[in-house]
Each structure stands twice: as structure tokens, then as C-alpha cells.
Chains A and B, each alone.
Chain A
Amino acid sequence: MADQKILRANGTDELVEAIGQAAARGQRLEVRGGGTKSAIGRPGRDTTLLQIQGFDTVTDYDGPELVLTAGASTPLAKIQTLLAQNNQMLAFEPFDHAVLFGLAPAATLGGVIAAGVSGSRRLTAGAVRDHFLGLRGVSGRGEAFMGGAKVVKNVTGYDLPKLLANSWGQLAVMTEVTLKVLPRPQTVQTVVLSGLDERQACLVMGQALGSQADVAAAAHLPADINGGLALTALRLEGFEPSVKARVQMVLEQFKATAPCDILPTEASALLWEQVQHASVLQETGTLKGEGALWRINVPPMAGSQVIERLKPFGARCLLDWAGGLVWALLPMTDEAKGVRDVASTLGGHAMLIRAPQALRLSIPTQQPLAPGVAALTQRIKDGFDPKAILDPERFI
């Protein structure tokens, strides 16, 4: 919105001041890092933009300690480059939502943590929350505090990083974050099986993950989104002799099931990038189209049922996390209730990632919680943000 007021805060003291003042006035704040996820959530909220900047220093990085501490507004790309130079990575595979909204890459470290952004390797390596070790931040009370620590193993006090990951800035504004980092695999290869339907694909992915091949990621592209040829992709990572042997194990396991191919490193990287950004769902190769893009989390074996039930709505779907994550692009926007029902019936939830304003106004972006959990969530928010200034209407 062109007329939205903007507050800027450089440094923790200014942030404490800004949030404290906002709390006293009851002024609602939309906290923004890179702004790549601004179009997620209810549009037209009456908020002042709080632009977080200047928290962009890598304060501690010692590769063999497997720990990195950096300012929350440090660009994700900068961290990924730094880690790559040291043969390390953020194993939860965060990605930049900019590509989903036709923006230039700008995601920040704090932003991907606050939004709980995990990619394909989340299936086996864990999510943001599993790698988020410590934080400094300012709560909605206008108080600077810290949680967690800067070592990989810690159970001292409550695990506040878990609570802050995926909190979308509704409890506190993070200023400094500490993450576990891991070695980058020396070799990556992907085995692709052709021609499986969704149900078979979920079974195959489950069997692969239950095998000793140590599969790192598993995704399925149904025929209708891949030029008529369904592909089931199993990613193997690690040291070369090991990857070679495990690729053979996978081929052996599934050679009788479907035609198998091995994608070399570059083709493999391209495929997984398209999966990660759900860009394979868009015929034009960009996702700036009409319709509603959903991210649906379900138990892995339910992935194929989600597709089955959404197909009548004209949905184009993609399975990641061995079937546990469905990206669904629906051409029409009036089937939202249907999507929500499918997700909850199958034991999961659906989040609206990209949709026209009218739809985002008419339904909550996140799946409504069970009443007891919703009440508990609200009490936690009341504790951290008693004046309800940290964008409380974003997901209402």
C-alpha cells in the first residue's frame, strides 16, 4: 500500500524504543525484512511498516563448530554464499519466496526463520526449527531478550527458538540468530522413476525412505505438470563412493517397478530448484499467474489422496517430502473451503501462499487451529505481545 507509514529501526536500542512506543499507543506493526513474503496473509491491514535493517553482520562463524551467528536482516543469499565457500550449508534448504511473487531475491535470514521456510531436504534433515539454536530479539512488550544459545546441544530453559521459528514475527522481532550449519554434500545424484501414478509414487517414496539407501529428498511430478510424463525423484547426497553405491541400491530396489534414470549433478540441481519453488506448476515457467497457490502438509501416504480430491477443481499439484507436502495451484479461487476440508480430513493443514486479494480477504491464510490449541496460542501471544501490536490480523 502506497500510503503505509514506515518506521525504521537501526540497532536494538532503536527497536526497543520503536516497539515500546507502538505498544504504548496500540499502534500495529508489520515487521519487514526483505519484504519477499509481504503478499502472504490478509491484505489491507491497518499497520505501520517496521523496516528491520542494519542487523546484517555475521558475528560468529567457525565451520568446525557447526554454528553460525548473524544479524536477522542479513540476506539469505549472503549466508548461503559464505557457507558454500566453506563447503557448508543450511541443511533445511531455505529458499527465497521472491520468485513466487516475481520479485528480486531479497529474503533475509530472520525472514526465512520467522516464516519457517524449509525446502525439500526438510524431509530428512529437519526444518528451520531443527537448526535454529538461539536468538536475540525484542518482544511486543518492547523488551530485549535472548533465547536458546550458540552451541549445537542445549536444553537449558525453554526452547524459545522453536516458538519463534514459524511465528511470523507475531511474538517478537528477531535481531540476531544462531543456526546449526552442516557440511555440504560432495556429490548429489537423483534417481528418477518414470510413469508412476501418485499413489504408486507415494508408496515408492515411502519404500525408498525406509531402505538403507539414505535418500535425502523425495518428490513426485505428476504427468499433467510435466509434459505428460510423471517423474518420481529420489535424491542421494554425500561422498562420491557412498552416493555411487546407494544409487545402485535404489536402482536395484526399483528396476522392476518403473523405468529408472540417473540425473547428473546439474540436471539434478535444476529439478530440485523447480520443485522447491513449485515453479514446475506453472506452464509458462513463472508463477505470476492467476489462481491460488496452496502449500498443504499431510502425512506422507495421504499426499496422493490430496491430489485425487483436488483434481476435480482443476488443481495442478506437486508432491515433495515423500508425499507429505503438496503444492497445489488451483485455477479458480472459490474452492478454498474444499482445500481446507481435504487437508484437515487427511490429518494435516493447508496454507494459502499466493492468491488474489479477494480470496485472501475472505479466508484466513493459515488453517484455523483446534479450539484448545488456538486458545493456548492466543495466551502465548498475549504474554509476548500484550498490546497485540505485532500484526495480529495477518492470519485472521
Chain B
Amino acid sequence: MPVPDGAVLSRRGEIVAALRRIVPGEGVIADPTSLRAYESDGLTAYRQVPLVVVLPETTAQVSEVLRWCNEAGVKVVPRGSGTSLSGGALPLEDGVLLGLSKFNQVLDIDYDSRVAVVQPGVTNLAITRAVEDRGFYYAPDPSSQIACSIGGNVAENSGGVHCLKYGLTTNNVLGVEMVMMDGEVVRLGGQHLDPAGLDLLGIVVGSEGLLGVVTEVTVRILPKPQTARALLLGFDTVERAGQCVADVIAAGIIPAGMEMMDRPAIHAAEAFVHAGYPLDVEALLIVELDGAHAECDYLVEQVAKMATINGAVTSRVSTSEEERLAFWAGRKAAFPAVGRISPDYYCMDGTIPRRRLPEVLRRMAALSDHYGLKVANVFHAGDGNLHPLILYDANQPGELERAEDFGADILRLCVEVGGVLTGEHGVGVEKRDLMGTMFTDIDLAHQQRVKCAFDPNLLLNPGKVFPTLHRCAEMGRMHIHHGAVPFPDLPRF
């Protein structure tokens, strides 16, 4: 993280007083014990007590807090529910932590236009809860949906098991109200489709809290499908399971969800929730189909045929809602299940071209031997998003570092085979220093120019995403290669 600014640390009293003038009462937290609650997000390996926490209740307060901090040169870290798995909400010792938990209202629901307008602290699941009695739901469903906030989802462009068919957050958000670091309030998007100019909403979603603080979100809501059915398919090789996935998609079927688990993940999940998973298979697929009854019936039959052709040794089709949920129970509990068989685990999030899966799993097994750490794999099979869970014990000296090195090697492998560092958890602090494996300095500079357009003083959530934040004034200069000026024959002024 950036070296804390001693001058800011020494001004703590003044900063707290200024924030108290803007947000009265209990909205400013400064005592050491209460601050502890904010020292970490979902990536608990990293901890830092913030300078002070502020919990504004209105857009005007957010605006004033940001304007004051901008003018005072104080860094700000925005936080939703703090469930980030990449350290996106990790506090700074010399930074204000700005929590949006008091923005917890559903503001408007328009069923005719199929949109909901909510405050950013509303949880992902609460949106569905607010509209489900009318037969609607909000599609993206990150596994933390009971706790994670929609504002955090916007910052991280969160996904979930249904995003192959229904998209990530970015595909389901129509507009935001956002406060920029200088306090200016802007509206991006709205209730119409497609912007008049540049798609600034598109760049804000997934920007990991570095561009602005979202104070209102307009999302698309969808009618709940008539029904959903799932198949539980076991294969004795990962290759066969992978081929079955490819065959399903080649046949023109986009399942609502298509999840794969490897043997260690299957065993951990079964031991934990007794979902009835077969234990004698190398790969388990859960394929969920949703839509009209006629559609589900037809597609279930098609997928079952493909499973047979690919030599599935287990093939079960859910015949009731209870059974469908039971198929999912093990998968949804996979992370805690792994947490039960190992003191600690470290969850990775690379995406690969799906056809490279067998090779990636083989090389991951070799890495597992090399580091002497076990790994269990759950995999969003439809879109190639891999979640290797590295098992380690933080109490054993050196194991956390080995787990991190192992994880970094896995992500490098993902990039090497044509994939990416993160499919849905974000870069945060965790993968920041690996950005260079995917992007050149010039690529990153183009991304940072977006950051400079929104926050030229680099005060909003610094230390995340970018391995190095260059001063914005430097970003404007012409690029010089190894001391050589490009186009040396051109006159310069």
C-alpha cells in the first residue's frame, strides 16, 4: 500500500472534527475499538485500521465529505458491506473510510418499465426480496448476495452463478447517481437504454471505487422464469465433463447456470452438507435450465442425452424444487466446506478459455505438488471462470506466503493460456501487482487516464487496481521509449 502520509496522520483530530461538522452524531467513528470492525473486508489476510470512519446518510453529505477531503488532500476509501474478496475496501492508515451502510432504502420500483431505483447500501438479495411478490427478481447473484450491497456490486461488477445467461452487474445496471472526489454530483445513464455520448456508466461499473462514490443505482428487474430444473452429472474424467459443457453450448443451449467441481471440492462439499453427491467421480457438473415448462422439459432431455454421449457415470434430473436446491446446496456451500477441512483457504478467480481446462487443471496439480499445498476447484464452467481454493494453515510459518505464491502462479497460468486474472472478484490489492502479466505499461496508462479524468489528485481508493499510480500531470506527456522520442523527424515545440 502507499506509504502513509505522516502529515495526514498528525492532522487526525482536525480531520475528525471536520467530518463531525458534516455528518453529526454517530455518523463519525473515531474510537479505536469501534474502528476495528472496519479493518478488513472479505479478504481477511489483509488488515488495516482506518484513520476514521464516516457514515453519511445523504448525497449532500457524501458530496461535502469528498469535497472537504479533496481540498484537504486526504485519501478516501469507499465501502459497501465489506464483502470484497480482493481487498477493494481495505482501509488506509491515513485515509477516511466512507461507509454507505446508511443508504439502505429501495426508492422506487416501476414494474411497467421493469426497473428498480435503490440506494447503494441495499443488499443484492434485498432487491429481489422487494420485487418477488410481483414475480420479479434481480438477476446477478454473487454468493455473498445476502450481505453484499448493490453499491459494492457496481464497484466490483459482481457476477454469480447465473451470469452466463443473465450477465454481470454491468449488464443489469441502467444508471447511477455518483459523487466525484471534488464533490460534484453526476448522473450517468438513467431509465432509458444507451447513453448520448461516451458510456461513462460502463466504465464506472467495475472501477473498484476509484472513480466516484455511487449514491443511487437504477437496475433492471426481470420476470422470474416459470420454472427451473437442474441436472447433476458425474464424470470419471475432467475432459469428459469439459466436452459435455462444450457440447451443450455448441447445441445452442445457454443454461441458467453450469457449474463444475473437481474431486476434492466434491468430497469437501458432500462431507459438509450431505447433498448426495457421488464420491467416485473426478468431475461433477450441475446444469440448470430455466424458462417456460416446455423449454425446461425439452432442454433437460437434450442435456441428459449429451451427458450420456460423453459417458456420464451419474445423471440425475431434479424432479422437484427441493431436489433442485439440494443439487445446488453442495456447490453453494463449497467455500465453507473447504474451510472445514482446512484451517484457511485462499480463493482465486481467474478466467480461462474453457477448452484449456484439462491442461490448466493438470498444471495446477503440478503446482500443488511443488508448493506442498492442496487445492480444490469449483468452476463456473459455462464462462470459464475458475475458483481454485488453495488450502493452507496461516499458523504454520511461511504457509500464507506459499499460498499467495501458488495463487499468483495459477493466475499467471490463466493469463498464459489466454485468460485473465479475475473474472468477478476484482483486482483490488490482491492482484494489483500481477496486472503487468496481462497489460503493458501503455495499456495501464490508458486505463489510468480514465482515473485521472475522474480523480486527478488520486485520492479515491489509492493502492487498488494499479500497481503504480503515476501523477496525472505525468500522464499527459508524450510517451518516450527508452529515451528515444517517437517520430524523431517531426518538429517539436
Residues of A within 8 A of B (CB): 17, 20-21, 24-25, 62-67, 87, 116, 118, 122-123, 126-127, 129-130, 139, 141-147, 149-160, 162-163, 165-167, 171, 182-186, 203, 206-207, 209-214, 238-239, 241-242, 244-246, 249, 297-301, 321, 324-325, 347-349, 351, 366-367, 369-370, 372-374, 376-377, 379-384, 386, 395
Contact = CB atoms under 8 A, between A and B. Distances in A.
Interface in B213-272: 223-226, 245-247, 249-254
A210 B194 contact: no
A206 B186 contact: no
A241 B298 contact: yes
Contacts of A25: 490
B446 A153 contact: no
A377 B203 CA distance: 12
Nearest to B385: A153
B478 A141 contact: yes
A151 B352 contact: yes
Contacts of B421: 156
9 contacts: A63-B250, A64-B354, A64-B355, A155-B156, A155-B425, A214-B292, A348-B190, A349-B196, A377-B197
Given A65-B354, A348-B190, A373-B188, A182 B254 contact: yes
Contacts of B205: 159, 162
Contact of B193 (A213, A239, A324, A386): A324
B370 interface: no
B354 A156 contact: no
A126 B171 contact: yes
B449 A212 contact: no
Contact of A65 (B192, B293, B353, B487): B353
Contacts of A386: 476
B294 interface: yes
Given A298-B192, A347-B192, A183 B420 contact: no
Contacts of B113: 206, 299-301
B82 interface: no
Interface stretch (B18-26, B311-319, B360-368, B432-440): B432-440
A178 B202 CA distance: 17
A206 B479 CA distance: 51
B249 A66 contact: yes
A41 B212 CA distance: 31
B423 interface: yes
A156 B391 CA distance: 24
A297 B194 contact: yes
A142 B451 CA distance: 20
Contacts of B3: none
A214 B354 CA distance: 28
Given A245-B293, A370-B187, A384-B446, A129 B198 contact: no
A211 B223 contact: yes
A245 B384 CA distance: 32
Interface residues of B, number: 107
A207 B167 CA distance: 23
A64 B357 CA distance: 13
A147 B253 contact: no
Contacts of A67: 353
A158 B206 contact: yes
Interface of B: 110-115, 135-136, 156-157, 159, 163-164, 167-168, 170-171, 180, 184-188, 190-203, 205-207, 223-226, 245-247, 249-254, 291-295, 297-299, 351-355, 380, 383-385, 418-427, 431, 435, 438-440, 442-447, 449-454, 465, 475-476, 478-479, 486-487, 490-492
B486 A210 contact: no
Contact of B299 (A150, A239, A376): A239
A66 B291 CA distance: 21
Contacts of B207: 158-159
Contacts of A203: 112
A24 B491 contact: yes
Nearest to A383: B449
A335 B424 CA distance: 47
Given A156-B421, A157-B447, 16 more contacts: A122-B193, A127-B193, A149-B351, A153-B424, A154-B351, A154-B422, A155-B156, A158-B450, A167-B198, A183-B252, A184-B252, A210-B114, A210-B136, A245-B294, A376-B200, A384-B446
Contact of A241 (B186, B294, B454): B294
Given A151-B353, A154-B423, A380-B198, A160 B447 contact: yes
The 8 closest A-B pairs by CB, nearest first: A162-B202, A383-B449, A183-B252, A242-B295, A245-B294, A379-B453, A299-B191, A349-B196
Nearest to B454: A376
A25 B3 CA distance: 41
Given A116-B194, A206-B114, A163 B351 contact: no
B446 A147 contact: yes
B225 A156 contact: no
A143 B478 CA distance: 9
Contacts of B492: 24
B423 A153 contact: yes
A145 B443 contact: yes
A143 B442 CA distance: 7
A139 B113 CA distance: 38
Contacts of B246: 64
A176 to B, nearest CB: 14
B480 to A, nearest CB: 11
A21 B486 CA distance: 9
B167 A214 contact: no
Given A183-B253, A212-B223, A245-B293, A151 B184 contact: no
A296 B441 CA distance: 40
Contacts of B354: 64-65
Contacts of A246: 292, 294-295
Contact of B197 (A154, A213, A373): A373
B295 A377 contact: no
Contacts of A149: 351, 419-420, 438
A136 to B, nearest CB: 10
